Amino acid sequence: MVFGRACPHAATGTPGTMGEGAMTPVDELDLVLQLPLFDGLEPESGRRLLGPSLHCEAQAGVNLFQQGERPEYLHVLIEGAVELRCVDPTGHEVVVEVVRPVDCFILAAVVTDAPYLMTARTLEHSRLLLIPAGHLREELYRQPALSLVLLGSLARHYRALVRQIKDLKLRTSAERVGAFLLCLALDQGGATTVELPYRKRVLADRMGMTPENLSRAFARLRECGVQNQGSHVVIEDLERLAEYCRMDTAIDRVEAALRVPAQQVLPDSSESVPPSRAQGTTDT
């Protein structure tokens, strides 16, 4: 991993230089290779992939790239938060997704060298790993294992998008907000008090509604025992809220990582088949 080179966001961010007491490049590299995103790669393959990468820090409000630009790097978020935004010809912007660690974005554009369909902007102080796009594509040809790892990442992002569309189409505004709050509570072990992770404007965009509709949704949720003061939310009855929102694992489950299943070799054949077919099951 390369440290001390000019960070592409250095005008508004901080280059990834190694200060006193910081990890050495080898320590940082080993840490990154332990991330779920790179699980399945042999250490030497991972080092070859990440060798020319940059470590970069950016303050809140930094545009990492713009909609319409061609990818120069695969951005891997290590710490912080990044919003992915879309803008129409009139200048109207909406938040499509908020990325939390540890994850990469936007992999599909980087792999295909296609223009970005969204703008990425930091929501808070963030630490990122930047893998040069051309180098990543070269390694995809050299390393079949890397292709499988990134296929799993693409599959997870696709499935997350399907879940988001189902949430938008099958639930009312209040139900969507309630389900979001309930997921926050369950992530904290069933806590009845949660803090909104970002500003209400960003939350409204992410929920597919205007700030005014978000306020109305919170007002509707008072009937389910949800009290809101600023970013502080109290949920009096988790089960009641879950019933109201019609919680569904096909929508609300968060998949941390997906992997392409390893193939099995049949005893009397040189051909390998996926485990599902070897066991006589079908893919639904």
Closest CA to 14 of 106, 99, 128: 128
What architecture is domain 13-166?
A: Sandwich (2.60)
In three-state secondary structure terms, 76 is strand
- The residue with greater pLDDT, 30 or 61, is 61
- Cα–Cα distances (Å) from 51 to 29, 55, 139, 241, in that order, read 9, 11, 11, 48
Q: Domain limits of the chain?
A: 13-166, 171-252
- For 151-192, the pLDDT digits (tens) are 888 888 889 889 989 998 999 999 999 999 999 888 888 888
We find that the CATH architecture of domain 171-252 is: Orthogonal Bundle (1.10)
Q: Which whole-number Å values give the CA distances from 36 to 134, 153, 206, 255, in the listed order?
A: 23, 10, 25, 12
Q: What percent of the chain has pLDDT over 90?
A: 36
- List strand residue ranges (DSSP E) for the chain, in order: 13-15, 54-58, 63-65, 73-79, 82-87, 93-99, 103-105, 119-122, 126-132, 193-195, 226-229, 232-235, 264-265, 272-273
Whether the bond between 226 and the residue before it is cis, its omega within 30 degrees of 0, is: no
CA distance 259 to 107: 16
22's tokens = 């910081």
pLDDT of 94-128, one tens digit each? Answer: 888 888 887 889 899 999 999 999 999 999 999 99
Residue 3 clears pLDDT 60, i.e. is over it: no
- The predicted pLDDT at position 96 comes to 87
Residue 65 dihedral angles phi and psi, to the nearest 5°: -160, 165
| Spatial distance between the Cα atoms of 74 and 134, rounded to a whole number of angstroms | 10
pTM attached to this predicted model: 0.75
Beta-bridge partner residues of 85: 95, 119
33-42, 65-74, 79-88, 137-146: least confident range: 33-42
